[in-house]
């Protein structure tokens, strides 16, 4: 078996393994709906982090902890849709942004 055939075979095996283990393998994205910013209707989002401080009184370590929470914010206006945030977390502040 020459090098080219060996590489092609390895690539096929890798793709088959990924399809077998990935939970969304074979999903038809034509049936998915687009997500829009609730404020400006943009479809472009970026990864952002909210930070929560945990008091030493309730922290399992007895020390203050800063906990990063990963979410998505609109790339155009910075808004964080309520659907992207856990209950009890204020993402956009009282000023609306």
How many whole angstroms separate alpha carbon 30 and alpha carbon 19? Answer: 18
How confident is the model over 55-71, as pLDDT tens digits?
999 988 999 999 999 99
How many whole angstroms separate alpha carbon 65 and alpha carbon 61? Answer: 8
The one-character DSSP state at 55 is P
Q: What is the mean pLDDT of residues 17-37?
A: 79
How confident is the model over 28-54, as pLDDT tens digits?
888 889 999 999 999 999 999 999 999
């Amino acid at each position: 078996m020459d090098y080219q055939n060996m590489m092609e075979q390895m690539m096929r095996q890798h793709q088959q393994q990924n399809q077998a283990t990935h939970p969304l393998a074979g999903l038809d994205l034509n049936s998915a709906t687009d997500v829009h910013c609730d404020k400006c209707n943009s479809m472009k989002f970026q990864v952002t982090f909210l930070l929560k401080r945990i008091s030493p009184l309730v922290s399992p370590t007895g020390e203050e902890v800063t906990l990063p929470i990963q979410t998505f914010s609109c790339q155009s206006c910075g808004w964080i849709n309520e659907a992207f945030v856990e209950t009890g977390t204020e993402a956009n502040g009282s000023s609306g942004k």
